Amino acid sequence: MFAKLLIANRGEIAVRIIRACHALGIAAVVVYSEADRRALHVRLADEALPIGPAPAPESYLRIEAIIEAALRSGAQAIHPGYGFLAERAAFARACRDAGLVFVGPPPEAIEALGDKIAARRLALATGVPIAPGYHGADQSDETLAREAARIGYPLLIKASAGGGGRGMRIVKSADELSSAVESARREARAAFGDDTIFLEKLLVRPRHIEVQILADSHGNYVHLFERECSIQRRHQKIVEESPSPVLTSKQREMIGEAAVRLARAAGYVNAGTAEFLYDETDGNFAFLEVNTRLQVEHPVTEAVTGVDLVQLQIAIASGARLPFRQEDLRQRGHAIEVRLCAEDPVTFLPTGGRLTRFDMPRNIRCDAGVETGDEATLYYDSLLAKLIVHADDRAAAIERLRAALDACAVEGVTTNLPLLRAIAAHPAFVAGETTTDFLTAHEITQHLPAPAPIPDEALLAGAIADVQPLAHGRAAVRDPWGALGPWRMLRTDMPLRYRDGDNERYVRITEDANAWRVEIEGKVYVASVLAVQPDHLTLRMADGRIERFTIARDGEARIIEWRGQRFCLVHAALAIERLGAAGHSHSRAGLEAPMPGTIARILVREGDRVSAHQPLVVLEAMKMEHIVAAPHDGIVLRLPYAPGALVAKGATLVELEEG
């Protein structure tokens, strides 16, 4: 067994591996980027080494930096976790060349199975059925168009080196193919460094079923049964369970044997997952891919089999034999896992910020990568924690899941917790009707409870923060509100409009002697400023209450923290007028970034005439692409940013004049 192991990852999975190392008496070393210097995995590790700036290509994807850190720390092995470099054959080979043990399959097996095109060819050779598609070496647009016509629409574009939905596009007609191919290639290149794609016939309502496999270096292979992962958003799983509620024992045996057959053919060693699509109409399976790494959802397999997959990974990498045979393994009870993510529960757009409260239930397993006070960064995946329940049967597991979700309390960051609660309560989920279109077929997001409106106190503080500095001639050097952007000109009477979800909130603020008179939709508040610091505002209300606010700028928005809660104020528009003067309006619109990210591509130029719904800017966040389109016909007046620029949520990406 190793004395010291380096974890080439971050967040929840790094914490999970640290705990497995400590259970085995192994010292755990982690690496971290500048964005993660105070992260939980850094605090829990025995040793932590910096490897670069926040962007993943400059830190967690730098093979040479991670190898150097491992050698410098004296580690004998590297565990890649999942994501980042976990499925890069070049990384596994670099570890071997440096005399380090890679906790995962050999590079040859990664090349045979990790590349999705190569895996499909191997599946065909071993008699494992695959969905109709094209996985040829010719990647020309002409060939792809011809093959797409042969396969028929709708179809899927997939990244050969991809995973987690990145580089994946649904194409419903030939008119959509060219732009979808370009976008998928760009996203795959950014996420994986490889823009090779393939085409696959789209099954409209399948189930997503995967099989956990384990193999040692002595020729022993087993499967640890299946997980069903059908409930997804943006092709990324959010609910996983074992066993599948629909498989018969014969189907379970058949799919397990197919997964082991693939692993043997590839000379696989360590943990991996074979994924399949299951068509309920005919009971047939179609091979999707093999993930040559540990899966996010591995805890449900651990719950029903009673094995520790991470400890077994490390033991296998050190040369140990599997401690059991296939006939020794059983599924016991039912387990369900849900992924708690820092994202909007309706749009699925990533969110971020400081977790002012992060309370998870203590009577179930919770694999978390954060604690109260930590920052949910937007540089990486949005996963905060995984909640895993286990019970004697599926009905009891669902009841435990509902109770666990009700016990969760997260403040400071918007999460998908309302979505998870809605899924767990839905009759179709209880009935086991969990196809991949579950969210859309049952319109889950359309029935989520509306978020509570921003309280008047937060609006009041934001409005005072907007006008206070210039009203009293403060210098902008230390003043967090000095750069007021489009609302620099000040009069003693200002009408403001803020966006609160889909609604607009109207505020009128007037300087009144030594206080501010703030009218919010008919209600009048009077407050005086007691203290202004770079990121804090203290107010005395008319009734004598003292209220303290933390206020920060995020692009053209303000982040207000008050009484343990976090609110984002975005200016819907701003009109400045003298008392009694008429307001001013115009037909210019600023198209804002829906989340922080990087400008991947600008599709128009200043002066261009554009049509409604025309794509204007491609924004990349969490390694996914988001299209910012024109809301109406118009003329592009200004493009404030260039490709490659980092922008905050609310930043104006395009100034568009209607007409």
Which positions are catalytic?
293
The HSE-up count of residue 401 (CA atoms within 13 Å, CB side) is 33
What SS3 state is found at 210? strand
The alpha carbons of the chain give a radius of gyration, in whole angstroms, of 27
Neighbour-count burial of 58, counting CB atoms closer than 10 A to its CB (0-12 exposed, 13-18 middle, 19+ buried)? middle
What is the widest separation between alpha-carbon atoms in the chain? 86
What SS3 state is found at 316? helix
Neighbour-count burial of 153, counting CB atoms closer than 10 A to its CB (0-12 exposed, 13-18 middle, 19+ buried)? middle
Straight-line distance from the first to the last Cα atom of the chain, in angstroms, rounded to the nearest whole number: 70
Q: Answer for the pair 367, 438: CB distance below 8 angstroms, yes or no.
A: no
Strand-pairing partners, residue 233, are: 236
In the chain, DSSP finds a helix count (H) and a strand count (E) of 16, 39
User: How far apart are alpha carbons 476 and 448 in whole angstroms?
Assistant: 42
What SS3 state is found at 272? strand
The answer to whether the bond into 323 is cis (omega within 30° of 0) is no
User: How far apart are alpha carbons 75 and 93 in whole angstroms?
Assistant: 17
DSSP state of 47: E
The kind and range of the H/E element at 289 are strand 284-291
The kind and range of the H/E element at 241 are strand 239-242
The HSE-up count of residue 122 (CA atoms within 13 Å, CB side) is 26
User: How far apart are alpha carbons 390 and 398 in whole angstroms?
Assistant: 9
Question: How, if at all, do strands 609-610 and 588-592 pair?
Answer: unpaired
Residue by residue, what is the 3-state secondary structure of 109-162? HHHHHHCHHHHHHHHHHCCCCECCEECCCCCCHHHHHHHHHHHCCCEEEEECCC
Which residues touch 543 (CB under 8 Å, ≥6 apart)? none
CA-based nearest residue to 365, from 384, 385, 388, 383: 388
Strand-pairing partners, residue 214, are: 222, 271
DSSP letter for each residue of 583-620: P---SEEEEEPSSSEEEEEE---TT-EE-TT-EEEEEE
Size (the chain), residues: 659
Q: Tell how far CA 435 is from the center of its chain.
A: 21
CA-based nearest residue to 223, from 209, 236, 211: 211
Q: Which amino acid, residue 335?
A: A
